[in-house]
Structure 1
Amino acid sequence: MVTSTGTLPSLLLGTLLTFTSGALGANPGLVVRITDQGLEYVAQEELLALQSKLHKVTLPDFNGDVRIKHFGSVDYRFHRRLDGSFDVKVKGITISVNLLLDSEPSGRPKVAVSSCSSHIRDVEVHISGDLGWLLNLFHNQIESRFRRVLESKICEIIEDSVTSELQPYLQTLPVTTEIDHLAGLDYSLMGAPQATAQMLDVMFKGEIFSRDDRFPVAFLAPVMNLPEEHSRMVYFAISDYAFNTASLVYHKAGFLNFTITDDVIPPDSSIRLNTKSFRAFVPRIARLYPNTNLELQGAVISAPCLNFSPGNLSTAAQMEIEAFVLLPNSVKEPVFRLSVATNVSAMLTFNTSKITGFLEPGKIQVELKESKVGRFNVELLEALLNYYLLNNFYPKVNDKLAEGFPLPLLRKIQLYDPILQIHKDFLFLGTNVRYLRV
């Protein structure tokens, strides 16, 4: 068997991406934008793979005749069983490939080759072995034949690679991702990718849903006006829709509910969660329920919305807290109800595969809404509630935010050198990528 070895010193690859048309019924919650830098990187990676495969191309049996000066007409037959080897130097390969990109009903991407052509400017063949001197006499004919064979092989290799490698690789893009036992993330495509001369945009649903009961979301993702940035290979535009659907899921699951009992109050605190401690500012409660422990049950009234404005993230939490006295036989009797409001600033960071967050709470404001033990000043309760929220509630929420919002990444893709911007209604993350071959 005769195999080719050599280099590809000049290789031009022209790849055209075409897409099936499709109208979006709603705005995407996530857009992945691949810039011309990113597309060029993809092309270079594909060229490396193509080079490797071209080195393994085998020359088929062929025959012909040629007229050689001083020898006359010579018939030749080129067989794989011929002893010896030859070196091939291929120059100036131009490849044009049309790829048809679309989305499957499942929300996964799919790709196919719609057309392919290749042209080789020059092929140089040097044959060694016992008959090398003779075969080199009609190397021009061999080179011409080899060029035609190689040109046809190139498109065969590309079509096979798209079917057997690229399409399965695209299937590694997650359609749904498990976040935890409560929530999942929907990364299904909302239509065929959209292309311009400088970029490729891929639209994803970007919705966080309940794994137990996927309820319809009552609001739509906003329109995202993406800036014209090209300093990175890839950009992720993450709408506030993604974060606010997460808020709905965790709120409905009761994750934001909390209970305060005396055992979570620090031992050295001057305020205890019992009627004796409350006697100074709620005298009636101590008379009605002497030496009785209290319990505070809190809940966020509605799912907090994360507000995006240029350079800033914030949210406002409105809570309701109800106080109970703990009577014998595990009976809980309500005694008063509070309204608690606070403004919260948020910070987001990127850790190579996820967006993580952290909440920085502001001062709380407490208002007495209802009382069965008379009106009283809530100032002392503000200090107790503030302590609990800062040391228990917000750390619990921040631990969850630290688990992160996973980005839709293909297998073996690593992100690096990120930049993070906050725009109206969306987060804009730019990053470079590398493909890990190992």
Structure 2
Amino acid sequence: MRAMARALPSLLLRLLLTSTPGALGTNPGLVARITDKGLEYVAREGSVVLQRELLRITLPDFTGDFKIKPFGRGHFEFHSLSIHSCELRGSALTPLPGQGLSLTISDSFIRVQGEWKVRKAFVLLSPAADSKTRIQARLHGSFDVQVKGITISVNLVLGREPSGRPTVTAPGCSSHIRDVEVDISGDLGWLLNLFHNKIESRFRRVLESKICEMLQNSVTSDLQPYLQTLPVKTKIDSFAGIDYSLMEAPRATAQMLDVMFKGEIFNRDHYSPVSFLAPVMSLPEQYNRMVYFAISDYVFNTASMVYHEAGFLNFSITDDMVPPGSNIRLTTKSFRPFVPRLARLYPNMNLELQGAMASAPFLNFSPGNLSLTPLMEIEAFVLLPSSAKEPVFQLVVATNISAMLTFNTSKITGFLKPGKIQVELKESKVGVFNVELLEALLNYYILNTLYPKVNGKLAEGFPLPLLKDIRLYDPVLEIHKDFLFLGTNLQYVRA
């Protein structure tokens, strides 16, 4: 029993680590936080869409019978009903903790127009025959309905598909109309106005039902497909892509809506999981912008791994790449003054320097600062007359690099500022020598070839997870420990 008791904590730990393989890696690489300002903007834009949808509603005809003394019985029909104009006011979109969002529209107005017709039986007395004659009269006219004080409320439940795309449903809706005023014109308009309360009650029930039906249909047919435009896996270039799948359903709290994305850059040809985890990000409490993006170093460092593994940062320097006016050439003759043995063993031959990063250079985030400390390994080869390459020495090149990140309407871009390089001799088959003369050559190549290549790639940037037709503007960038914090406003660009 004692042995079992001692083994139990270890067993539980192993079970936790093995039975929940994603438990240790569930931190998002990127978080999009929509503030109350952002939700206000979305509500305004949404009300424009709903207003357009309301104008397309087909209202059903409705009929009824009436009996009014001394006119007797009759049958009325309202048809060709259409919403002529509408104005949705007071729209609000607020977080619904644990579910998603609550949409409310209040104090709105609709005007409905249409046609009416009445079939009325008139009874006439004939004095001569002392008899009665029944005459059927068919009369018609138009009507105008003013619908005031409309209030609509619907809960939008947000979820996540297995593919990582967002979902939305509207399981329940309620609408209320405060006042309906019907103005009926025509030959018997005055007659229909006698029981306008009944007609107005029917209009109220029809419109309340149709408004909710329209809104729920719009969520299914318009909003859900629109959410599907959020990119899940986006191409960056010929061999890299970014995974923006949702890690869970969007999380609503009292003041905001947080959307957690995986934010991992991957090799499009063969995906392999990275060996490190995204850090925990503590987002600042800021609400001046409509949306904030917290982009962890995980995103940038997975990119570094992909490009490093693809050999993007590898390079080769030969003598034909050295500037004509350089004091040092990549030939054994030029190396004679400081590596005499090299010139004796390989007289009048060309050299080639092959460089590669010792490991993927990771971007370091600290408050207000971005930096890298890449370590390069360079191997020198003699190009033999047989076209074979003979290794002769190895160098280690270290440098400190500062980085700048910038933003355009949809992408994060970057730029590296080079630091001074330090070169050390790691191994030599031609004796120990001073490498300072090589620093100038390597500095020239790195500044004029390698950095422009890397900065060209960084200038292409990587896209942020945005819905279709959304543009960002008025950005504010902050650098925090382990993540970049971008605040910006939204604009929906209508096609």
Name the TM-score, length of structure 2 as normaliser.
0.80
136-145 vs 328-337, greater mean Cα deviation: 136-145
Corresponding residue for residue 433 of structure 2? 376
Decide whether aligned partners of structure 1 residues 304 and 71 sit closer, same or farther in structure 2, where only a CA change above 3 A counts. farther
**Would you say 1:343 and 2:405 are equivalent positions?**
no
Corresponding residue for residue 469 of structure 2? 412
Structure with bigger gyration radius: 2
**Would you say 1:155 and 2:154 are equivalent positions?**
no
Rounded to whole Å, the distance in 2 between the matches of 1:349 and 1:172 is 25
Rounded to whole Å, the distance in 2 between the matches of 1:53 and 1:32 is 29
Decide whether aligned partners of structure 1 residues 71 and 353 sit closer, same or farther in structure 2, where only a CA change above 3 A counts. farther
Corresponding residue for residue 80 of structure 1? 79
Within the candidate set 218, 226, 231, 2:275 is matched to 218
Rounded to whole Å, the distance in 2 between the matches of 1:412 and 1:250 is 30
| Total equivalences in the alignment | 416
**Would you say 1:240 and 2:297 are equivalent positions?**
yes
Rounded to whole Å, the distance in 1 between the matches of 2:297 and 2:249 is 23
Per the alignment, in what secondary structure is the counterpart of residue 38 of structure 1? helix
Letter in 2 for 1:77: F
Decide whether aligned partners of structure 1 residues 62 and 355 sit closer, same or farther in structure 2, where only a CA change above 3 A counts. same
Deviations 1:356-404, CA, capped at 9 Å, x for gaps: 0001110000001111111111111001000000000111111111110
Within the candidate set 261, 281, 285, 1:204 is matched to 261
Deviation at 1:280, TM superposition (A): 1.5
Contact 1:33–1:236 (Cα < 8 Å) also in 2: yes
Decide whether aligned partners of structure 1 residues 131 and 411 sit closer, same or farther in structure 2, where only a CA change above 3 A counts. farther
Letter in 2 for 1:37: K
Rounded to whole Å, the distance in 2 between the matches of 1:80 and 1:23 is 61
Rounded to whole Å, the distance in 1 between the matches of 2:197 and 2:24 is 56
Corresponding residue for residue 189 of structure 1? 246
425-434 vs 384-393, greater mean Cα deviation: 425-434
**Would you say 1:252 and 2:251 are equivalent positions?**
no
Corresponding residue for residue 221 of structure 2? 164
Rounded to whole Å, the distance in 1 between the matches of 2:432 and 2:142 is 100
Q: What's the % identity of the aligned pairs?
A: 76
Deviation at 1:23, TM superposition (A): 8.3
Deviations 1:210-243, CA, capped at 9 Å, x for gaps: 1122111111100010011111111111111000
Contact 2:251–2:259 (Cα < 8 Å) also in 1: yes
Rounded to whole Å, the distance in 1 between the matches of 2:188 and 2:254 is 52
Corresponding residue for residue 337 of structure 2? 280
Deviation at 1:317, TM superposition (A): 0.5
Residues 309-388 of structure 1 mapped to structure 2, 5 A cutoff: 309-388=366-445
Letter in 1 for 2:54: L
Corresponding residue for residue 323 of structure 2? 266
Within the candidate set 357, 365, 375, 1:308 is matched to 365
Deviation at 1:125, TM superposition (A): 3.0
Per the alignment, in what secondary structure is the counterpart of residue 329 of structure 1? coil
Per the alignment, in what secondary structure is the counterpart of residue 80 of structure 1? strand
Decide whether aligned partners of structure 1 residues 130 and 316 sit closer, same or farther in structure 2, where only a CA change above 3 A counts. farther
Letter in 2 for 1:196: T
Deviation at 1:88, TM superposition (A): 3.2
Contact 1:234–1:433 (Cα < 8 Å) also in 2: yes
Letter in 1 for 2:46: E
Decide whether aligned partners of structure 1 residues 23 and 362 sit closer, same or farther in structure 2, where only a CA change above 3 A counts. closer
Deviation at 1:288, TM superposition (A): 1.4
Rounded to whole Å, the distance in 1 between the matches of 2:189 and 2:30 is 61
Decide whether aligned partners of structure 1 residues 345 and 51 sit closer, same or farther in structure 2, where only a CA change above 3 A counts. same
- The alignment's C-alpha RMSD in Å is 2.0
324-333 vs 58-67, greater mean Cα deviation: 58-67
**Would you say 1:177 and 2:176 are equivalent positions?**
no
Contact 1:24–1:190 (Cα < 8 Å) also in 2: no
Corresponding residue for residue 203 of structure 2? 146
Decide whether aligned partners of structure 1 residues 261 and 116 sit closer, same or farther in structure 2, where only a CA change above 3 A counts. same
Using CA pairs under 8 Å that are at least 6 residues apart, name the structure with larger relative contact order, 1 or 2: 1
Residues 397-408 of structure 1 mapped to structure 2, 5 A cutoff: 397-408=454-465
Corresponding residue for residue 160 of structure 2? 103
Name the TM-score, length of structure 1 as normaliser.
0.90
Letter in 2 for 1:165: D
Letter in 2 for 1:89: Q
Rounded to whole Å, the distance in 1 between the matches of 2:300 and 2:491 is 27
